[in-house]
Structure 1
Amino acid sequence: MSDRIGILGGTFNPIHMGHLKLAELALTELNLNSIMFIPSGKSYMKSNVLDASLRLEMVKLAISGNSRFSVNDIEIKRAGNSYSYETLETLHEAYEDTEFVFITGADSFLSIDKWKCPGRIFRAASLAVLARGDSTDEKLKKKAFEYKRIFNAKVFFLHAPIIDISSTQIRNMIKNGEPADELVPPSVYRFINEHKIYLKESFDE
């Protein structure tokens, strides 16, 4: 039987408890063997992002206590812009006999057909879409049907309780001197304070 690995990509600027809760949920609901966190490298969508080495270190700290979580710096090491289809195809070359499940939020899912080479994304991985609350939005259902028809996509929905945490919120709280220790893992919060991250400069999400 092949392994099933969930792929959770993102800027992780910073990684927070919402990311970790989503990963735990995906492990259970999708019957995954593990979750691979992939911090984004240079993005054609975002120009002002915290240095990749700092974001990578925060992810390593956040997941260090869970043996089923790993981090891969494939996009950080890549020269030029990072594209999801390239990442997934490269992972297939490195991990034989593995099924990948690409975990994404609702907004990204609705626009993924506008990404570079969407057909190659759907060929390389199943998609797991975070549907807020107990019901699946009709727009998501309609889009999933469209992707199945056009790309022969395999789509799952993850039903998660609404987690009102965002990286932007955390950065703003830290910049304004407000405590954000309950929103990120303790090790990450210590790292942010030690390196005085987010105190002055503003970043893209």
Structure 2
Amino acid sequence: MKKVAIMGGAFDPVHKDHVAAAKMSLDCGLCEEVWFMPSPDRWDKTLNASPEDRFAMLELAFSGDKRMVLSDLEIEQGEYRGSYVFLMGLKEKFPDIHFLLLTGADSYEGIPHWRDPMTFFGTNYNGHLLLRDIELIVFARKGYPKPDLEQHKANGYAPLHWLGKEQGFVGKYSSTEIRKVLPYNRTQCPEGLEPTVFQYILDHDLYRE
């Protein structure tokens, strides 16, 4: 089966660590393709750029590498359903593909509390099902610890692959931090942004206060 890593998220905006983690996953042979899946407007997060703008910025960020695929499947889904429901739908839609989830160490910490917002009542979480059913690739994020790989395995979860300093990956960029400087910096490309993405932000007057 072809192995495809799904990298979902707001990408508000996409930064160099997103693309570097995808490229390293491919170069290390953990997957054959990475599908970037920008999320629709979400119940759990206020998004600053429209789905169309976030999609366009992703197109600019990794153009030229055919192993990276930009998909609108989650945006076209409409209402945000959460990662587990979406990934189970992908497995049903593409039965000949083995899907993995490519995510940051910050997100990994919160997976046990992920849920389907359409059927959310109190503590009706489904993140443990995702950990059980979906193989993970987790990349380093500044300020977040490396997952406990032995504990992850002992919990009966699906395999977890780590991308950190041992593999030459140092996660240092954050969309939140980049957004903080963009209202005041409209002349010099912030570290962590591709120049083409920065130019798109300027051309479309995004991330103003």
**Per-residue CA distance 1:32-54 (angstroms, 9 max, x = gap):** 11111111113232134321111
How big is each residue's C-alpha offset from its partner over 1:168-196, in whole Å with a ceiling of 9 and x where there is no partner? 22222221125225532232222111101
Identical residues among aligned pairs (%): 29
Q: Which runs of 5+ in 2 are unaligned?
A: 116-125
Q: Note the C-alpha offset of 1:76.
A: 1.5
Are 2:147 and 1:140 aligned?
A: yes
Aligned to 1:188: 197
Distance 1:180 1:186, change over 3 A: closer
Question: Shift of residue 80 of structure 1?
Answer: 2.3
Distance in 2 (alpha carbons) for counterparts of 1:24 and 1:155: 17
Task: Quote the Cα distance in structure 1 between the aligned partners of 2:132 and 2:72.
Answer: 22
1:158 maps to what in 2?
163
CA distance in 2, matches of 1:106, 1:38: 18
Aligned CA-pair RMSD: 2.4
Aligned to 1:47: 46
2:141 and 2:172 in contact (8 A); partners too = no
Verify: 1:17 aligned to 2:24, yes or no: no
Structure 1 residues 84-99: aligned runs within 5 Å: 84-99=83-98
Work out whether 1:114 is the aligned partner of 2:122: no
Matched, 1:67 2:66: yes
Does the CA contact (< 8 Å) of 2:15 and 2:175 recur in 1?
yes
- For 1:25 and 1:70, locate their aligned partners in 2 and report how far apart those are by CA, in whole Å: 15
Structure 2 counterparts to residues 166-177 of structure 1, below 5 A: 166-177=174-185
Number of aligned residues:
194
Partner SS state of residue 77, structure 1: helix
Q: Distance in 2 between matches of 1:98 and 1:113?
A: 25
- Secondary structure of the corresponding residue to residue 164 of structure 1: coil
> Could you say what secondary structure the match of 1:175 adopts?
coil
**DSSP-derived class of the 1:89 partner:** helix
- Which residues of structure 1 form unaligned runs of 5+? 201-205
